[in-house]
């Protein structure tokens, strides 16, 4: 998967995430989100509700455009630092160069919905995805909602 982000105005970075790396990372992201729960409802119901709310709050934005000057590298490892309301992902490449991305739970849920959509397009094995992500993404795609 390609993740393109803007580091500073006019400066973009392209990160490549392998399926193998994502397969190791995703369960930790799911677990962090599940720990954010605070209602007396069963976890599956609460997570599904929160995922639907995140999708509803997802606004259409233009994707970050890479340029011929964009640096690009393969991510070798991802370090996670969990806060009370946000998760910091530090993407590392060989040589210990890192770039970090901090996402609150809402943004993480939105990113996971987009990632799940791309995962399906790549026809990668879908067994890793919990039902609370899978069903919401399937519903969004069935209604023609564009995710990028």
Kindly tell me the sign of the dihedral angle through the C-alpha atoms of 21, 129, 102, 9: positive
Q: What are phi and psi of 26, to 5 degrees?
A: -55, -45
The per-residue pLDDT for range 34-80, each reduced to its tens digit, is 888 776 677 777 878 788 888 888 887 788 888 888 899 999 999 99
Percent residues over pLDDT 90 in the chain: 46
Q: Higher confidence at residue 28 or residue 120?
A: 28
The two structure tokens encoding residue 85: 């309301």
Instruction: Work out the pLDDT band at 22, boundaries 50, 70, 90.
Output: very high
Tell me the CA distances in angstroms from 71 to 13, 15, 75, 142, 148, one per residue in order: 5, 9, 13, 35, 21
Dump the DSSP string for 32-86: HHHHT--SSS-HHHHHHHHHHHHHHT----PPPPP-TT-EEEE--EEEEEE-SSE
The per-residue pLDDT for range 119-134, each reduced to its tens digit, is 988 999 889 999 888 7
Q: What's the predicted TM-score (pTM) here?
A: 0.83
Q: What CA–CA distance (Å, rounded) separates 102 from 90?
A: 9
Kindly tell me the sign of the dihedral angle through the C-alpha atoms of 145, 120, 134, 29: negative
Under 8 Å between Cβ of 37 and 43: yes
Residue that the structure tokens 């990668």 belong to: 124
Q: What CA–CA distance (Å, rounded) separates 42 from 84?
A: 21
């Amino acid at each position: 998967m390609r993740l393109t982000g803007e580091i500073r105005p006019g400066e973009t970075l392209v990160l490549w995430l392998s399926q193998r790396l994502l397969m190791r990372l995703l369960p930790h992201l799911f677990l962090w989100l599940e720990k954010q729960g605070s209602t007396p409802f069963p976890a599956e119901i609460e997570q599904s509700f929160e995922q639907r709310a995140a999708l509803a709050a997802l606004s259409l934005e233009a994707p970050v455009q890479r340029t011929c000057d964009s640096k690009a590298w393969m991510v070798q490892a991802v370090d996670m630092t969990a806060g009370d309301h946000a998760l910091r992902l530090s993407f590392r490449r060989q040589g210990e160069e890192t770039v970090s991305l901090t996402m609150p739970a809402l943004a993480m849920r939105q990113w996971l919905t987009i990632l799940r959509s791309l995962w399906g397009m790549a026809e990668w094995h879908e067994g890793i995805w919990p039902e609370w992500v899978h069903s919401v993404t399937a519903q969004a795609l069935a209604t023609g909602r564009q995710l990028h």
